[in-house]
Chains A and B, each alone.
Chain A
Amino acid sequence: MSLLSLADVRKDYLAGDVTVQALKGINLTVEKGKFISFVGPSGSGKTTLLNLVGCLDKPTEGTVTVAGVEVNRMDRKTSAKFRGDNIGFIFQNFNLIPVLTVYENVEYPLIMVQDIALKARKQKIDDMLDRVGMADQRNKYPSQLSGGQKQRVAIARALVMDPKLVLADEPTANLDHDTAYKVIGLMHQMKKEFNTSFIFATHDQKIVGEAEIIYTMEDGLITKVQANGTAGGGIK
C-alpha cells in the first residue's frame, strides 16, 4: 500500500467571477520513507497540492488517499484528528507559538493533539531536541531564536508526533543559503532516522538537489518527474 496517492485531482478556486484552475488533474503515488520535492514557478500549484495532501483543503474533483484513508470527505473534527495522527507540518514562517518556550512548543502537539503522558512525553521531547541540536536552547522563547533555530524547533515539533508524512511548504524561503542547506540536511537525516516521508515545495533550484524524487509543476500539472541519484550526498 502506498503512503499517498492522488487520482485525477483537480482544484478550482473561485476568485470573484473568475475560476482559477490551480490543479488540473494530478496523478501521483508516493511510497513510505521518501524525500520528495515539488518545484515550479510561482502560481504553478505547489501550495495547493500540499494543502490537499495535508488534509487542510478538499479537492474539487478526484480523490486523495493518505495512509490508506480517503481524506476528501472528512469533517473538520475528523480531519484535525487525522492530521494529528499522520501528518507533520513545517511552515515557511516557522509558525512557532510565541508564548511557549522551545521545549513547550515541541511539547504542544503531545498535549493538545495526542495526549501523551508526562514521562513518555518528556523523554520524546528531550530526544527530539537533542536530534535537532536545540537541547541547550530549550527554555528560550521563539523571539530569542534565529530563523534556522526556529525551523529546527519546527522540525522537532513536526516529528515528535511520529507522523507518517511531513509536509513543508517553502521551509527555507526565509533562511539564508547556508542555513537553508543545514535545515534541508536535517530534514533528510530525520527522514532516514524515522523512515518518514518528507514532501517539500520550493522555488530554490539549489536545495532541490537534496530530494530523491523531484516533481516539476507548471500551471497546475506535473510536467516532469526526476529520480535524483545524488540525493542525500550533496549536503554542504
Chain B
Amino acid sequence: MKNIIKISWRNLLRYTRRTLLTSSLIAVGVALVIIFGGIGASFKDEVIGTITNSNLGDIQIHKKGYVGSMDNLPLDIAIPEQGLNKIKSLLDANPEVKAYSERIRFGAMISNFAQTTSMRVTAVYPEKESITCPALTERIKEGNSDPKTFVQPGSIVIPANIAAGMNLKIGDDAVLVATNKDGSVNGVTFKISGISENILGPQGKDGYIHIDDAVSLLRIENGEITEIAVKLNDFDKLKKVYSRLKGELAQIPGKDSGKPAFEVHSWEELSPFSSIVKIVTLLILVVRLVLVSIVLISILNVMMMSVYERIGEIGTIASIGTPPSKILALFLTEGLLLGFFSALAGIIFGTGLLMIVAAAKLNFVFGMMKLSLSPQIPTAEIILSLIIVVVISALASLQPALKASKMEPVEALRHV
C-alpha cells in the first residue's frame, strides 16, 4: 500500500502543471463551501438568535386556533387557568426547558391626550420574560432596561416609532385603551418607563406592560392568558422537544370537543424570517453541489488523461505480472490523493479566509435586525467537504482506473 501511494504520488507530480491546476480548482471549491457555509451558518444563527431571543422564544403554546387568527390578537382564544397549570407542570418537568413566560397579548389604542394611535401590547412577568427572551431588554434603549424590573405595575415600554410619532418621553403619561373579550372598553394611565427599538420591523408597534396591569385593564377574572413562550436549554434539540411537547399537549383534551385543547408551534412556524433561513440552507446545499460537480468533472478529466497517456506503461506493468487489482488501486489512489490534498489545501485556504472575516466582525442591518457576523470555524462543514471530495474523487477515478486495469497487455504495449 505504501508503495502504491508512493508511485501514485510521483505520477501526480509528474504532470505538475495539470495537477496544480486541478488541485487549485478543487481547493477553491472547498474554500467556497467552507466560507459560504461558515458565513451562512453564522447568518442563520444570528437571525434565529435575534428572532427567538428578543421576541418569539423557541416554542410557543396557545389555545387551539389562536395562531390562525394571531393577527387580531384575539382575547377570546385564551388558555384558561386550569389548562395553564397543566401546561406549567409539563414544562416544569421537562429538563430541556430552560424557561417559559406567560403572556397576554392584545391590541390597544395609546393616547398622549392629544393624539391616539394603535399598538400591540404584550403583558408579561418581567423576570420570566427576560429569561425566555434574553435579548429583549437589550433593545430597550432609553429608560429602565433592568431585566428584572423593566415593566412594573403602572409602567409601559413603548417602541421608538410611537415615542417619536407622539412625542412621548420617559416619565410621560399615556393612556392605554383596550376592548376586553366581552366587548367592554376600559382605559388605564401608564408612565412610560422605557423606549425600545422596534422589534419586528418598521411597522412593529410592540409595547410591554406588566401582566397584572393587563389583568385589570382587560378585567380578566379567571387567570386566563393567551400565550406561553418557551426557551430551551439547547436550541439544537428543538425538533425533539417540540414533538415531545406536541405529543404531551395532545393528551389534554378540550372541554367540549374532546380534541386537543392547545397548539404548539416552533419559532419557524411563527416567523416569516424562517424562510430566509431556509433559503440560506438551500444556498449552502447548492454550493456543495457545485463542489461535487467541480470535483467529479476535474478528477474524471485528469484521470482519463493520465490513463490515456500511460497506456504503454500500463502494458508494461501488466506484462510483468502486476495483478489487475493493483493497477486499479494505483489509479484510484492517484485520484484519491489528488482529491484529498486539494481538499486539504482548500480547507486551509477557506478557514484562513473565514478567520479573517471573523476578525473583521462584519456588521450589517438586515431588515430591522442588526446582525454581527462572527463566523465560527465550521468543523462539520470542513469534515463534510473533505468527505465529499474524497468520495467523489474515488467515484470519478473509478471508471478510468477500471479501464486501465482491464487493458489487454499486448494491445497496451503496442500503443507505445
Binding site for B on A (CB under 8 A): 51, 54, 56-57, 76-77, 80-85, 87-89, 91, 93, 95, 97-100, 108-109, 111-113, 157-158, 161
Contacts and interface: CB of A to CB of B under 8 A. Distances in A.
B114 interface: no
Interface string B387-416: 000000000000000000010011001001
Interface stretch (B19-27, B36-44, B280-288, B309-317): B309-317
7 contacts: A77-B324, A89-B320, A93-B416, A97-B7, A112-B3, A112-B4, A161-B320
Given A91-B413, A111-B3, A99 B320 contact: no
The 4 nearest A-B residue pairs measured at CB = A84-B321, A99-B10, A95-B316, A113-B321
Given A95-B316, A111-B3, A112-B317, A80 B323 contact: yes
B313 A97 contact: yes
A25 to B, nearest CB: 21
Interface residues of B, number: 26
Contacts of B322: 80, 84, 112-113
Interface in B111-128: none
A99 B7 contact: yes
A98 B14 contact: yes
A84 B14 CA distance: 27
A97 B317 contact: yes
Given A89-B320, A113-B322, A161-B320, 12 more contacts: A76-B406, A80-B321, A80-B322, A81-B321, A83-B320, A84-B322, A93-B312, A93-B416, A95-B315, A95-B316, A99-B10, A100-B7
A157 B319 contact: no
Nearest to A167: B319
A157 B317 CA distance: 11
B324 A80 contact: yes
Contact of A80 (B11, B312, B318, B416): B318
B321 A85 contact: yes
A77 B323 contact: yes
B326 interface: yes
By CB atoms of chain A within 10 A, which of B3, B4, B14 has the most? B3
Contacts of A81: 321, 323
A56 B319 contact: yes
A113 B320 contact: yes
A80 B318 CA distance: 7
Contact of B320 (A57, A84, A100): A84
Contacts of A97: 7, 313, 316-317
Contact of B319 (A54, A85, A100, A111): A54
B50 to A, nearest CB: 57
Contacts of B413: 56, 91, 95
Interface string B308-346: 000011011111111111100000000000000000000
Q: Which of B318, B320, B322, B410 has the most CB of A within 10 A?
A: B320
Contacts of B326: 112
Nearest to B407: A76
A83 B7 contact: no
A139 B169 CA distance: 88
A232 B13 CA distance: 44
A104 B388 CA distance: 34
A91 B316 contact: yes
Nearest to A114: B321
B319 A89 contact: yes
A108 B416 CA distance: 20
A84 B323 CA distance: 9
B331 to A, nearest CB: 13
A93 B412 CA distance: 13
Contacts of B318: 80
A83 to B, nearest CB: 4
Nearest to A48: B410
Given A54-B319, A80-B321, A112-B326, A95 B312 contact: yes
Contacts of A88: 320
Nearest to A76: B324
A76 B411 CA distance: 14
A187 B321 CA distance: 21
B266 to A, nearest CB: 58
B16 to A, nearest CB: 12
A54 B323 CA distance: 15
Nearest to B319: A89
Contacts of A77: 323-325
Contacts of B315: 95
Listed residue (B4, B11, B13, B319) with the most chain A CB atoms within 10 angstroms of its CB: B319
Contacts of A76: 324, 406
Contacts of B406: 76
Nearest to A91: B316
Given A93-B416, A112-B317, A100 B324 contact: no
B288 to A, nearest CB: 34
Contacts of B316: 89, 91, 95, 97
B323 A109 contact: no
A99 B3 contact: no
A83 B410 contact: no
B317 A99 contact: no
Contacts of B313: 95, 97-98
A158 B325 CA distance: 21
Contacts of A98: 14, 313
A117 B177 CA distance: 94
A85 B317 CA distance: 14
A28 to B, nearest CB: 20
A88 B3 CA distance: 21
A99 B14 contact: yes
Nearest to B322: A112
A57 B313 CA distance: 18
Contacts of B325: 77
